[in-house]
Amino acid sequence: MTTQSHTKSTTRSLPIALLRARETVMAPIRDMLHDIQLTEQKWRILRVLDELGEVEQSAIAHEACLLLPSLTRILRTMEAEGQITRRQDKQDKRRTMVQITKAGRAVLEDNLATSLTISSNIEAQMGREKLDQLLDLLEELQAVKV
């Protein structure tokens, strides 16, 4: 008998498999974002704001998987670049409400075609059915109580 690892194969480790799959998917997206001077984080923030409208920072942090300290810094530069606006909430003065600007939306729209090409490429290789199945399972996994 050879020296045997006691742990599961990393291929069957959920956190590692999720990370590796994500790296594969992100590779072409990162290329696209690089061309338009956008980091992956800023792209997620724009996507979330485009979807949710005006929301507080904690909500962005939760939806875009960022911690508040990172978000504070990133939003500061995005506001300077004119992609978002921020204002204090009238009812609860602790809250800062954030909104995407036309310029921010334009960034997403300008890259819609490229995004679709990337999605189509993956779909062509995996098949629409499997992709939907995967998205369903991921959605279910996100909802698990830990």
Interface residues toward DNA, by CB under 7 A: 30, 34, 39-42, 56-58, 66-75, 77, 91-97
CB of 113 to DNA, least distance (A): 21
Closest approach of its own copies to the CB of residue 93, in Å: 28
DSSP state of 37: T
Rounded CA separation 52/65 (Å): 15
Residue 54 near residue 99 (C-beta atoms within 8 A): yes
Burial class (CB in 10 A: 0-12, 13-18, 19+), 32: middle
Minimum Å distance from CB 28 to DNA? Answer: 13
**Footprint of its own copies (CB under 8 A):** 5-29, 44, 47-48, 50-51, 63-65, 108-109, 112, 115, 118-119, 121-122, 125-126, 130-131, 133-135, 137-146
